[in-house]
Structure 1
């Protein structure tokens, strides 16, 4: 009876849930992990969540460390869970105004259109008040660190 009334998509989703493959499929379909990371942070900020969980990768760990060092997040913790692990991020809010330390997150370079810059043309975010996260041959760093080391790279995102 259910086969006649249900669509193939519903049956397929039920199969994935029952077989335990839905969690695996969720991670395989993602095409831009950095955009997913920024979107999860943005959604948690908009919903005024204190903690957000993000699937871990080495690049996301580096970005999280930079956000912590620059004071945009309160704390973070890497949890080994499953094949890749999870990053738990405690968001930072002002105690009086309840405003988040992160005002805006913008993805610059994407898998379809990479954006590279040299150290002489390094972007300034809000005249130096924000940061640009750059992926270089020496690792992930901020625009200011890349300029002092005189190294260019791929502009991943702007945060302010």
Structure 2
């Protein structure tokens, strides 16, 4: 039993990009699927699809990773911020700017998962799930 499935997802993506894997399979949940779709929308991963592998009871998310022209990593750094033991909530005024706006902070708000730029524009705060650049 995992105590933090979001951290497990981010670690799987981090490890797969470092070893230049094409895809990575992650146990599925709605939150993880929304997070992966946000990463696709922001251009950090190529695609995500929900699959039911034969002989297994549980769905998996197959995340297709993205690399540059010379196989350089698109995701250089990915880090979990708000953990089960230490939650991190911020107001709209205190949303972090990652790499002077070039990175991404994923914020769980009352309006769903949003990138920090969109949360700032809508004037909502929330829980900072993770940051990446």
2:131 corresponds in structure 1 to: 158
In structure 1, the residue corresponding to 2:105 is in which secondary structure? strand
1:94 aligned onto 2:60: no
The answer to which structure has the higher strand fraction is: 2
Q: How many residues align?
A: 131
Mean Cα deviation higher: 75-84 or 39-48: 75-84
Distance 1:84 1:119, change over 3 A: farther
1:146 corresponds in structure 2 to: 119
Greater relative CO (CA pairs within 8 A, separation 6+):
2
Deviation at 1:113, TM superposition (A): 0.3
Distance 1:151 1:112, change over 3 A: same
Q: Distance in 2 between matches of 1:83 and 1:102?
A: 31
User: CA RMSD for the aligned pairs?
Assistant: 1.1
1:49 aligned onto 2:30: no
**Which ranges of structure 2 fall in alignment gaps of 5 or more residues?**
none
The answer to whether the Cα contact below 8 Å between 1:57 and 1:84 also exists between their aligned partners in 2 is no
1:34 aligned onto 2:6: yes
In structure 1, the residue corresponding to 2:114 is in which secondary structure? strand
1:121 corresponds in structure 2 to: 94
1:71 corresponds in structure 2 to: 43
Q: Distance in 1 between matches of 2:57 and 2:31?
A: 16
Q: Distance in 2 between matches of 1:75 and 1:61?
A: 11
Q: Distance in 2 between matches of 1:61 and 1:149?
A: 23
